[in-house]
């Protein structure tokens, strides 16, 4: 087999692989079968969650000292996610590559798959804010649902609560230990994948 044949064979294998991956239904771009406005509004929910939470966190960290913002996260994050879920007939939450809130933050099977894909894409130099995952799946009752994940990367301002021991002041570390005895979500550095916003919505 000469070089050219090998090249062609690997191209064919590549196409085969993409086809198989495609039939599994997961993709980095929105599924063409879903209405563009539904795609946009799904992205909008994720942006809303990240935006509202970011603002709350920023305000609390500027005025309330190092420890109080933990409570802001503890109450505000689930409550904003809950409100957005109700308003949009969706299931909206955040999941982590390592998890702090063991009730809400543990990824299920498709969300794990999304996180694994995100790690690879981030390491290949894709910009975190552009990294998305889309899937149409069965909701378990014979209806179709749209599944969407958007990458969340660690930023420098996250390290005071998700960084390593020297980033987290003692008082705050103590508060985290009390509130989250099974906390896994420390030891991160800036630029790493922290997790994803995940949204599940029944298709109209
Ligand atoms: C003031 C401390 C604090 C800061 C700063 C902070 N977090 Fe968190 N983070 C928390 C707490 C507390 C939770 C658990 C919230 C809950 O109970 O739902 C959490 C949970 C999360 C989760 C959900 C998954 C899990 O592990 O439960 C993600 C994702 C997350 N944080 C990302 C970030 C990112 C990204 C930043 C920076 C932009 C950040 N956090 C900054 C305290 C903080």
- Cβ-count burial 61-79 (b if 16+ within 10 Å, e if not): beeeeeeebbebbbebbbe
**Which helix or strand (DSSP H or E) is residue 174 part of?**
helix 170-179
Ligand 1 neighbourhood includes 194 CB (under 6 angstroms): yes
Position 15 pLDDT exceeds 50: no
Q: Which atom of ligand 1 is nearest to the CA of 77?
A: 18
Ligand 1 neighbourhood includes 77 CB (under 6 angstroms): yes
pLDDT bracket for residue 22 (50, 70, 90): very low
Q: How confident is the model at residue 2, as a pLDDT? A: 55
Reported as a single tens digit per residue, the pLDDT across 25-73 is: 679 999 999 999 999 999 999 999 999 999 999 999 888 888 888 988 8
Ligand 1 neighbourhood includes 195 CB (under 6 angstroms): yes
Ligand 1 neighbourhood includes 128 CB (under 6 angstroms): no
Q: Which atom of ligand 1 is nearest to the CA of 95?
A: 24
What is the rounded CA–CA span in Å between residue 186 and residue 177? 11
Q: For residues 122 and 99, is the Cβ–Cβ distance under 8 A?
A: no
From atom 32 of ligand 1, which residue's Cα is the shortest distance away? 194
Q: Ligand 1 centroid to 186 CA: how many Å?
A: 10
Q: Ligand 1 centroid to 73 CA: how many Å?
A: 6
Position 17 pLDDT exceeds 80: no
Q: For residues 138 and 145, is the Cβ–Cβ distance under 8 A?
A: yes
Reported as a single tens digit per residue, the pLDDT across 65-119 is: 888 889 888 999 999 999 999 999 999 999 999 999 999 999 999 999 999 999 9
Q: How confident is the model at residue 9, as a pLDDT? A: 52
Token pair belonging to 84: 């957005």
Position 152 pLDDT exceeds 70: yes
Q: Which atom of ligand 1 is nearest to the CA of 196?
A: 29
- Cβ-count burial 122-145 (b if 16+ within 10 Å, e if not): beeeeebeebbbbbeeeeeeeeeb
Token pair belonging to 185: 């979500």
Lowest mean pLDDT among 61-70, 97-106, 120-129, 166-175: 61-70
Q: Ligand 1 centroid to 40 CA: how many Å?
A: 25
Helix axes 68-88, 36-63, angle to 10 degrees: 160
């Amino acid at each position: 087999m000469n070089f050219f044949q090998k090249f062609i064979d690997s191209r064919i294998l590549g196409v085969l692989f993409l086809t198989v991956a495609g039939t599994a239904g997961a993709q980095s771009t929105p599924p063409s079968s879903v209405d563009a406005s539904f795609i946009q509004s799904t992205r909008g929910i994720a942006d809303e969650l990240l935006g509202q939470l970011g603002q709350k966190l920023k305000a609390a960290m500027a005025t309330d000292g190092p420890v109080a913002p933990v409570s802001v996260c503890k109450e505000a994050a689930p409550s904003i996610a809950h409100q957005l879920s109700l308003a949009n007939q969706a299931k909206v939450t955040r999941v982590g590559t390592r998890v702090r809130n063991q009730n809400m933050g543990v990824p299920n099977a498709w969300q794990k798959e999304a996180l694994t894909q995100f790690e690879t894409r981030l390491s290949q130099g894709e910009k975190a804010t552009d990294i998305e995952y889309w899937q149409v799946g069965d909701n378990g009752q014979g209806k179709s649902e749209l599944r969407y994940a958007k990458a969340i990367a660690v930023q420098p301002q996250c390290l005071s609560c998700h960084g390593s021991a020297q980033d987290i002041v003692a008082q705050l570390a103590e508060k985290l230990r009390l509130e989250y005895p099974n906390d896994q979500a420390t030891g991160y550095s800036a630029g790493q994948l922290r997790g994803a916003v995940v949204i599940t919505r029944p298709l109209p």
